[in-house]
Amino acid sequence: MATANDIAAKSTAGKQSPSMIVTLAVLTVIAGTFGAGFGFLVLGPQPTTVIGADHPIAESAAPARPISRFPLHSTEVILKPIIAPLAHSNVKKIRVESSLIVMPSTALPPALRAEIEQDIFAFVSGVAFNDLSDARGLKNLRDDLDDLIKTRGQGIVLGLLITGLAFE
């Protein structure tokens, strides 16, 4: 005779439950839909306002300027790499590769260029490696050299751009 358990087992044997892959596929589609909707709400197109030339805001709006330490049309004068001994440290030498940023359409006199290279050599020779061991020390080096160059540059030189720094 068939018991109740045998009958229940036979009745469920013919039915198949949905597979795990189908379930995951459906959940992936649902998650993708909600993610796309959320992204559209958060990062979607921003409302833009078109201002005509006759509107007062259009006249007072200044054009966007790029973020830079130097004017847009300034000239870069590449200096020779400067190799100098460091003071009071185990590191023997420092190599500084830099450029001068000068006023647009202004020629840098060779004598001024040589004086600036000598000033950089003298300044870097007096710096210890411990002074340059972190980001603050490197920023201080850049600021100090920039002030020195601006003072020596007699208004022609806008600043110093350090392009390379290596220790031996």
| Residue 81 resides in a domain | yes
Is pTM beyond 0.75 here?
Answer: no
For 153, the domain range is 75-167
Mean pLDDT, to the nearest integer, of 145-156? 87
The domain that holds 157 is classified in CATH as 3.30.479.30
List pLDDT tens digits, range 79-115: 899 998 888 767 788 899 998 888 887 888 889 889 9
| Residue 122 resides in a domain | yes
- C-beta pairs of 25-30 under 8 Å, 24+ apart in sequence: none
How many folded domains does the chain comprise? 1
CB 72 within 8 A of CB 66: yes
| Residue 53 resides in a domain | no
| Residue 140 resides in a domain | yes
Nearest to 100 by CA among 56, 36, 146: 146
Task: Write down the mean pLDDT value for the chain.
Answer: 78
| Residue 109 resides in a domain | yes
H or E element, residue 5: helix 4-13
Across the strands, what pairs with 98?
Answer: 162
